[in-house]
Amino acid sequence: MLRPGVRLVILDEPFRGLDREGRRVLMARVRELWRDATLICITHDVSETRSFGRVLVVDEGRIVEDGDPAELAEQLGSRYGKLLDAEETVRAGLWSSSDWRQLHIDDGRLLEESRPLPIARRPWERTVNHGPGTTNYGQRTTDNGRRTPEHA
């Protein structure tokens, strides 16, 4: 895996099961480690592909779109844009449900939040600040800076 001179790296759902921030950090490390190689990353997490220079959308084994993710996302009727929108709709609907409980640890005590946190419509386009100790996706930190589980 860490052989020198690697020319092609294929990652198939490499960080599945990790939180969004963990996946982002590990992908940045992978890109640095294999910066001189061609990197193919296969994923169902469509929004994570926005940081790549090129995206292929495959449907039933056929390439249906190929291009720069930012350009594809803005094209009217783009399959890629529709996938991004659908993913965000599901994420926003799922995580905004009142069925979820928001817990955090403060000074060794488990506490529950009483109000839901708003979610940005398109988190890759802007940062939403929900107040002190809060960042995108409902990520919370306590006053002492410890981070609690992410809800995305």
The DSSP letter of residue 131 is S
Give residues with Cβ within 8 angstroms of 129, minimum separation 6. 135
Domain boundaries, the chain: 8-95, 99-152
Task: Report the CATH number of the 8-95 domain.
Answer: 3.40.50.300
pTM metric for this prediction: 0.59
d(CA 46, CA 42): 10
Residues 2-49: tens digit of each pLDDT: 777 899 999 999 988 888 888 889 999 999 999 999 999 999 889 889
Average pLDDT over residues 147-151: 44
Residues β-bridged to residue 8: 38
**In 2-151, which ranges are E strands?**
8-12, 38-42, 55-59, 62-67, 103-106, 109-112
Residues 96-131: tens digit of each pLDDT: 777 777 788 888 888 887 654 554 444 444 333 444
d(CA 32, CA 37): 10
d(CA 27, CA 112): 32
